Structure formats: C-alpha cells, structure tokens
Amino acid sequence: MTTPRSVALERLAYTLAAPVLAVAPNLYPDSPVNSVVQLAGAAGIGGWILAGKSDEPGAGRKILRWTPLVLAAAVDVAAGHTTGFGPCWLDGLLAAGWAAAGSFVLPFSRHTRRRHRPALAAPAPQPAPAHAAEPTVAQPDDGADQLTREARMLWERAGMPARTHVVKATRHTAMRHDLTLLLRASETGRPITGLSPEIVGAAFGVSAADVTLADVAIQPGRQGGPGWMEARIAPEANARRRTKPTDEERWIDRVASPKGGAPGSELVHKTRDNERGVTFYRAKMSDSTESPRIDLPKTCRALDLPEDDSCVFVLIDGAEFLISAFDTPPLSAIFPATRELLTPDAKGMYVCGFTITGQPVKTMVYQHDKNAPAHGLTLGVSRSGKTQFFAINMAAQSLDGQVVWLSTVRKDEKTTVLGRYIDRQGSNALWMARSLRAAKALCEIRAEMPWPHDGQPHDYKPGDTRCPYRQLNVYADEFMTAAQDSDFGEFIQKDGEDLTVTGLKYGIGFNPAGQSPFAHNGFSTEMKDNLRQNSRPVIFNMGSPGATRKAAEGTMENAYDVPTIPARYSRSEGSAIERAMRGEADPENGVSTGGVAVIVLDNGRAVLMRSLYADFDTDLSQLFPDEVNRLTDYEISELEKRGLWFDWDEPVRPGEFWPEPDEDGDDGEGRSRRRGGGGGGKSGGGRGSKSGNRRSEQVASPRQALEAIKSLTDA
C-alpha cells in the first residue's frame, strides 16, 4: 500500500516542528520563531470564527483544518510560561502530543481533497458493465429527447393504439402537462384508423375533451396525409379556457360551434368605442362561399350580452357581419330635420335618416341613373312615423322644385299643416280619386306638350332645364283603406295602378302609404313590382316584429335578413324569474319606436334607420321653400278643358264617375249604375262596377233585358 505524498510531507512537518515548539520558548524567548507561531495561531482562530459564521456546508472540516495552527500557538505560549522545560518535561510532552495528534488526524492532507478523492493506495472501483437496452418498436434508437421517450413509454403501455407510433412529442410553451404528439402508422402506406380522443386521453390519463386530433399537412422534409396524425393534449389550457376564456376562444366554443349562434364563423376582432358606448364584434365565415346564419338571441347569450333588440344589432355584408352592442338604445335619439340635410344633390339624393352606427341614409327624389322620377312606398301602422316621413320627403321634393299633392282618407292635424306648403291637399276617398284621375290625365297632356327648344314633345328628364313642366309627386296616405272604399275604391285602385306603370315617362311619381304591401289589400303584383324597382321602400313599425319583417320581405327582390323593430325600447332590468318569485311588477321603462324604420336600399339590403324629425308644433317653413311649386298654366288649362281641375272637395258631380239615370225614370233604368261609363273627360271614366254587379236588378221587360245584355257585353 503506498502512502500518499501529501500525508508523508505533513507527518514530516509535524515531526520537525515539535522540537522547535518545545525548545524555542525556553532557550530563545525573544526569537522571531515564537512570534511567527503565535501569529499563525491567531490566523487559525480567525479561520474558526469565519467558518462558524459561514452558511456554507463543510464548516467542521474548515475548523479542523485550522486546529493544528491554534494548538501549535497554545503549546508555544505554555512552554514560554513554564520554568525551564516544565515539570516532568511537560513542554516536550505537549510538543510530542501535538505532533502525534497532527500525524494521525492529518487535517490538511485529508480535508483539502476535493470530492473526497480516494487515496493513491486505494484501488479505484470499477463499475460493472451495464447491459444496453435493446431498441423496441415503440422506442427506436433515433436520438429522441426525454419527453418523446417518456411519451413513447406511455404509448407502448397503452398497446400502441390504432397501430401507430409516436414520432415526436413537443411541449407547449409555458405549460407543464400540455403537449402535441406527432403520430404515424406503424406500417408504411397504411392510413391511421380507429384513433379517437378517448383512446389518446386514456393513454395519457386526461379527459377526452382535452384531446384534439388533426390532420398533418405535408411539409418539406416530412410526409403527411392519412398515414400521419397530430394529437393535441391540453388539459391545462382547457382548464383555463373554461374559466377565463379569451374573446377568440369564447367565440369558437360558444358562437361558431355547430349549435352556436353563428355556426362556421370566426371572430376577426372585438373593439370598444367608449365615446359612443358601443362594442363591435366583427366576424366572418370561415368558408367565404357560405352566407352567415345568425341567431341573434343565441349569440347574445353566448357573448354574455343582454338579449335586447333595441341595443344589439347585426349588419351582414357578404360573408362578413358586424354585431353592435350598445349601452343604451342608439335609435332613441332624435335627429332634427334641417334644410341642409333635405336639399337634394346633383343626383337627386338627400339624407332621410341615420343608422344605428351614425351613418346617414339617403333616398331619392328622382332616379338619376334611370333618368326618371322616383316612386315611393311607405308602410307602417298608426303613430309609427309615416306622416313625419311624408313631411321630410315632401320638403326635399319641394326644395328640388317639384309639385306635391297629398290625399288622405281622413283629415288630421299634420296633413292639414302640410297642405300649407304644397300645391294641393285633401282628406277623403273622393279627393284621392280625383287627384289620381287628374294625374293620369296629365300623362296624356304632357305626352303632347311641346318643349321650347325644338317644339316637339319628349319624355321627362330630371334636371333638364329645357323641360316645360315640373315633376309631380302624388301622395296617397292609407291607400289600402281608400282602395276598399265602396264608392270610389275601384277608381283609386285602377288609376293608382295605371299611374304607377305609366307615370314615370311623364314626370309623375306615385307615393302610396298604408299598412300592407300585399295584393289582397289593394296592391296588385304589377303595382308592387313597379314601386319596388323605382323607389326605396320605407317600412315603419307594422305592429309586431314578425309583421314588420314580412312587410319588408314583401318589398324586397330577395329575402335578406330584415332588422327587427320592437314595439318599444325597453332595457332588461334584473331577473324576470326573481321578480316573479317576489311578486313584483315588471319595470315600465319603454320608449316609443316611432320614427324608426327599415329602408330597403337599391341592392335589396334592408337597413334600420331613425328618420329625421320634423316638428309640426313649430313652423315648417324652415324646411320648405319660400314659394309653393305649382303646375304650369298650360297644364291647368288642359285639365280644366277635361273638367278635372276644380275644388276637389265638392260633392260628386253628375256623371263624374258613373252615368246618370235616364230622364224617363223607368224602374230598371232609374237606378244609378256606378262605374259604368266615362264621364268627366277623357281620363275621368272608370270601368264596370263590381258593386253594380252585386245589385240584384229585376228584369221586367224586353227593354230592360236588352240594356242588361249591353252592360254585360260592353256593347
């Protein structure tokens, strides 16, 4: 056995230093050797103190390492204070004991060896050769990282599900347990079949809901296709997603799911406008060829929004759509009408209202692109805002220099006020029949009216300064009610339909209004088609959201999504269930939706707007021009020749609408056969009366029978 060199040198140092410690204090008290030994002892005491205060491990070894110096100084001091070599050679015994203790303890040579290196004499232990594990199918020796090897062990323990192999496992960023597995079929050329989230979840001890399987795209340097699959295992991310989802995650899980409010969609971004108090959700369809199918109430519940039609709106534009959630009903604001807004531009367009997003909505007083006047169709129940819209529309037409006639079934305050600023106004079915008859006659008059530049008649051209007449706009409020009048309804319906078809060539626009756009209420299919194609229909509240939607779809070429107009704007306060349990009444905080309408634009899209407000309690002269626009003298004289220009409030004139009875007063001929012939000018005649046919006339003579046959055959 070989003694280490450091041990031999240290023992030699102790052996040589022991006589010096015993002799130097006694023979040479003032020798510098004593000072050096005592300084070395003081240094050893300092080392003790530092080792005791240190928090690092190995303090005992450090104290033992400094002990020989401290003991040497103690022996030197003791030898210096004894007489001679002390009793019984005490100084020599202390020095010898110090050397012997140092030789056996060996503090420096033993405790300064790093990592406890074995002595040179001790043979180095030889580790037994480990048997290398043979690579298996699940764990090939391909240099995979530790995570991949551990995943392969779990996969092999599960029996290699679906005959697949784990190619690589990748840990998700900042996640301890979330990872993505890249799988491939164990057999080359075979597709992966039979793998499910439940199988993967069982292999890794997670819920099947936390496992997502996806196809692998072909990448440079790596295959793809049916023989590869990617399994995403994310229990931590899903736990956070269920409790604190982001906006995108909430949309994917609750809105875009197959049973969500907008299936197949994806959120583009969510923005907040604090100034206007609105939150916008802009989304689009994942497949740009699909059209959005939006269930607004379900979408509101998914986004934790109040299910309130007055505050949440959806706007669809192709494959994209925008959901606007307002803090307060945006259409409850009032937008006063001004002359600046109502003045038509060079294309005949003027601002008639504003949308929920604050965008101006325009309608037309004539069709610039078709070089023709514009019809108008206004629908809505009573107190919905039709007459208010009449006012701003008439003001815009008057500001453009056009003539306006207004007829209603019954007289009211607002129409009487409007009569002060337009050419003519009346309030009964007879007045409406006369106005339509006169307008129809104007078509014939203007067809023969020469233009001053060449002396030839021409079709009406909006904005042409050479035109010798002004555009005429005929309004018929409650047209459906008037069309069903027992005396004049047939004339109103027939002349209104003719005016709708032929009036545009001669600068005459027809503007009916009522509560239904359907044929059984006075609108023929031909009439409705002409109104729809040559106007921007405006539908106010029709009494219920369903009726409003149906009326709007009836005026649209294609049934687009129609916004809902509630009966009143009312915010939901608290829980209806809790109020029912406490027996409390529901809050009455409704605000009228009068003036809110759906306008159908040229592309068939329905837009919700708030029409401009004309205050009838104040002077409307600020909206209308200073002078009322009238027909030309030539037109009036021609109407007078036909017996159609007079005070239309007069009672029915003899022979105006139907022939008068014969003078002989015969029973059969004495009864008035209304609507049978054409009195009152060229266009004043009507057609055969349905009400006359309903009369059960008694035929008592050959003459009466002949007259009856003539009336049936129009002989």
pLDDT in tens, 170-192: 998 888 888 999 999 988 889 99
The predicted-structure confidence for 275-297, as pLDDT tens digits, reads as follows 888 999 999 999 989 989 999 88
Dihedral angle over CA of 574, 578, 580, 586, nearest 10: -10
For the chain, how many helices (H) and strands (E)? 23, 22
pLDDT at position 517 is: 65
Q: Do 65 and 173 fall within a single domain?
A: no
Q: Using one digit for the tens of pLDDT, what is the confidence trace for 229-243? A: 999 998 888 888 788
Q: How confident is the model at residue 680 (pLDDT cuts 50, 70, 90)?
A: very low
Of 712 and 217, the structure prediction assigns the larger pLDDT to 217
Residue 679: pLDDT over 50: no
Read off the tokens for 654. Answer: 């003899």
pLDDT value, residue 27:
61
Which of 81, 108, 135 finishes a domain?
A: 108
Residue 165 phi/psi, 5-degree rounding, is: -130, 140
Q: Look at 76-85, 146-155, 260-269, 331-340 and tell me which has the smallest mean pLDDT.
A: 76-85
Question: How many degrees, rounded to 5, is the angle at CA 438 between CA 432 and CA 441?
Answer: 145
**Looking at residue 488, what is its pLDDT?**
92
Q: Smallest Cα–Cα separation from 262: which of 226, 209, 315, 221?
A: 315
Q: Among 327-336, 443-452, 503-512, name the one with the lowest average pLDDT.
A: 327-336
- Looking at the DSSP bridge assignments, the partners of residue 609 are 355, 597
Contacts of 654 (CB under 8 A, 6+ apart): 660, 679
Return the pLDDT at 177: 82
Considering the domain architecture, whether residues 307 and 406 belong to the same structural domain is answered as no
Q: Is 183 part of a structural domain of the chain? A: yes
Same domain for 417 and 281, yes or no, is no
Chain Cα centroid distance, residue 289:
19
Confidence of residue 691 (pLDDT cuts 50, 70, 90): very low
Q: Does 346 fall in a domain?
A: yes
pLDDT at 30 over 70: no
Q: At what angle do helices 525-533 and 489-502 cross, to 10 degrees?
A: 40
Amino acid identity at 585: A
666: in domain: no
Is 271 within the bounds of a domain? yes
Phi-psi category of residue 225: left, alpha or beta, with phi > 0 → left and psi -120 to 50 → alpha? left
Other beta carbons within 10 Å of 594: 18
**pLDDT number for residue 678:** 35
Shared domain check, 316 and 294 = yes
Q: What is the pLDDT of residue 411?
A: 87
Local confidence band at 667 (pLDDT 50, 70, 90 cut-offs): very low
- Residue 218's domain comprises 147-240
- Domain end, chosen from 240, 255, 281, is at 240
Q: What is the mean pLDDT of residues 329-351?
A: 91
The pLDDT tens digits of the residues spanning 306-316 come to 877 678 888 88
Instruction: Give yes or no: residues 314 and 380 share one domain.
Output: no
Between CA 21 and CA 37 the distance in angstroms is 9
pTM: 0.63
Within 10 angstroms of residue 656's Cβ, the number of other Cβ atoms is 21
Give the position of tokens 């007079």: 646
Q: Residue 401 — pLDDT band, cuts 50, 70, 90?
A: very high
In this prediction, residues 682-709 reach a mean pLDDT of 48
Phi, psi of 532 (to 5 degrees): -70, -40
pLDDT at 119: 47
Determine whether 715 is exposed, middle or buried from the number of CB atoms within 10 Å of its CB (0-12, 13-18, 19+): exposed
**pLDDT value at position 683?**
38
In this structure, of 101-115, 463-477, 599-613, the range with the lowest mean pLDDT score is 101-115
Q: How confident is the model at residue 457 (pLDDT cuts 50, 70, 90)?
A: very high
When pLDDT is averaged across residues 11-37 and rounded to a whole number, the result is 71
Q: Is 64 or 579 the better-scoring residue by pLDDT?
A: 579
Q: Which of 626, 642, 658 is the last residue of a domain?
A: 642
Compute the average pLDDT of residues 391-403.
96
Question: Do 285 and 396 fall within a single domain?
Answer: no
Identity of the highest mean pLDDT range in 34-43, 107-116, 379-388, 415-424? 415-424
Q: Answer whether 635's CB lies under 8 Å from 623's CB.
A: no
Cα separation, 274 vs 130, whole angstroms: 71
- How many structural domains comprise the chain? 4
pLDDT at 109 over 90: no
Within this chain, do residues 556 and 409 fall inside the same structural domain, yes or no?
Answer: yes
What's the CA gap between 646 and 650, in Å, rounded?
A: 8
Per-residue three-class SS string for 17-69: HHHHHHHHHHHCCCCHHHHHHHHHHHHHHHHHHHHHHCCCCCHHHHHHHHHHH
Looking at residue 399, what is its pLDDT?
Answer: 96
Same-domain check for residues 537 and 618:
yes
Average pLDDT, rounded, for the chain: 81
Considering only 390-399, 476-485, 520-529, 615-624, which range has the smallest mean pLDDT?
Answer: 520-529
